[in-house]
Structure 1
Amino acid sequence: MEFKKTIKPFILGNYLFTEDAGALADDASLIRGGVVDSTGILELVEFLETTYGIRVEAAEMIPGNFDSIDMISAFLARKMAACVA
């Protein structure tokens, strides 16, 4: 599943207020770049839970899972694989 097709537009529209896909690289740090803060991460988690029907545990809410579009996509791939198994 291509998670970036839903994640990137959400981040661009809700945090950068643009539709320009070139405004944010998939590997750019969302946290260090000031794109999202702690509240933004919570909003992102809610979006992912609603969109993909998953439950993100508190222990999973770490920068290693949510610091870039690439990291979020990898996290979702692992999460969805665990749901299927």
Structure 2
Amino acid sequence: MTLALAPDRCKEQIRAFLTSNFYISDVKTLEDDTSLLDQGIIDSTGVLEVVGFIETTFGIVVDDSEILPENLDSIRGMAHYIASKVHAAADT
């Protein structure tokens, strides 16, 4: 498990996953706050793929109750969510 997680590195990993696994017409327009659902980049099935990526890559468990737009709808939201989960795991 990654105990120290640099936010920018986390965002880079998320962006790389999204651009290699989902259709994004112009990668340059994918900003940290872009809504992945509103832009049609991910759908409900895509959310499950993102959850699998987060769990595998960052060694955390995403609880069903945490599958929320504020946690998974943008690169910034995912990075914040991942950092908080990794930090909480490091405290236990």
Q: One fold, TM greater than 0.5?
A: yes
Runs of 4+ residues deviating >2 angstroms: none
Instruction: Determine the structure 1 residue equivalent to 2:82.
Output: 76
Structure 2 Cα separation of the partners of residues 80 and 54 of structure 1:
7
Q: Which structure 2 segments of 5+ residues have no match?
A: 1-5
Higher relative contact order (CA 8 A, sep 6+): 2
How far apart are residue 21 of structure 1 and its match? 4.4
The CA RMSD measured in Å over matched residues stands at: 1.5
Amino acid at match of 1:24: L
Say yes or no: does 1:5 pair with 2:7. no
Structure 1 Cα separation of the partners of residues 32 and 23 of structure 2:
14
Assess if the C-alpha contact under 8 Å between 1:9 and 1:21 holds in 2. no
How far apart are residue 22 of structure 1 and its match? 1.1
Aligned length: 84
Percent pairwise identity: 40
Say yes or no: does 1:50 pair with 2:56. yes
Q: Give the TM-score of the pair, scaled to structure 1.
A: 0.91
Q: Which structure 1 segments of 5+ residues have no match?
A: none
Amino acid at match of 1:34: G
